[in-house]
Amino acid sequence: MPDTFATHVLDVATGTRETVVDLTDDCAAFLTAVAPGRSGLLNVFVPHATAGVAVLETGSGSDDDLLAALHQLLPSDDRWQHRHGTPGHGRDHVLPALVAPHATLPVVSGRLALGTWQSVCLVDTNIDNVNRQVRLSFLGGGGEA
């Protein structure tokens, strides 16, 4: 019987701008390597206090809309008590309360069971950290149940 658990860390360069990075292809490649034909769960986790994981449509403006909405909800000004780093950086530490640092997704027969327009994305509003890690973990068994 194949291993029931596998994990891998992605290194993602997010740069010095707020960004939404599509990780869907990276997730698919990981599953191809560790879970061909198997079903289970993929956990996507960002071990950072200022980033999150979202499942949303990309490429049609939704990623920019998400960043704009976060800017309205969490303005980058001097209202935040957490004050190290770039002015307004305290908002980045509140982000994971709104965009969780993890997502658990179904895997069926070795493939993510996402909706037609859904993508798995890293959301990073912290312009002080230009590199991020994302841990992908597969937990599963045999083929489709």
Residue pair 65/127 in contact (Cβ under 8 Å)? The answer is no
Residue 46 lies in a domain: yes
Residue 134 lies in a domain: yes
Q: Determine the residue type at 134.
A: V
Instruction: Please tell me the predicted confidence (pLDDT) of residue 63.
Output: 94
Residue 97 included in any domain: yes
| Residue 12: inside a domain | yes
Contact 5, 139 (CB under 8 A): yes
Q: Examine residue 99 and state whether it is found in any structural domain, yes or no.
A: yes
- Helix, coil or strand: residue 4: coil
pLDDT level of residue 2 (50, 70, 90 thresholds) = low
State percent of the chain over pLDDT 90. 88
Query: How many domains, the chain?
Result: 1
Domain presence at residue 84: yes
79: domain CATH number?
A: 2.60.120.460
The answer to whether residue 60 is domain-embedded is: yes
Tell me the pLDDT tens digit for each residue of 55-99.
Answer: 999 989 999 999 999 999 999 998 999 888 888 899 999 999 999
User: Cα(14)–Cα(36) distance, rounded to whole angstroms?
Assistant: 29
Which region, left, alpha or beta, applies to residue 65 given φ > 0 means left and ψ of -120 to 50 means alpha? Answer: alpha
Global pTM value: 0.94
State which residues form the domain around 73: 5-140
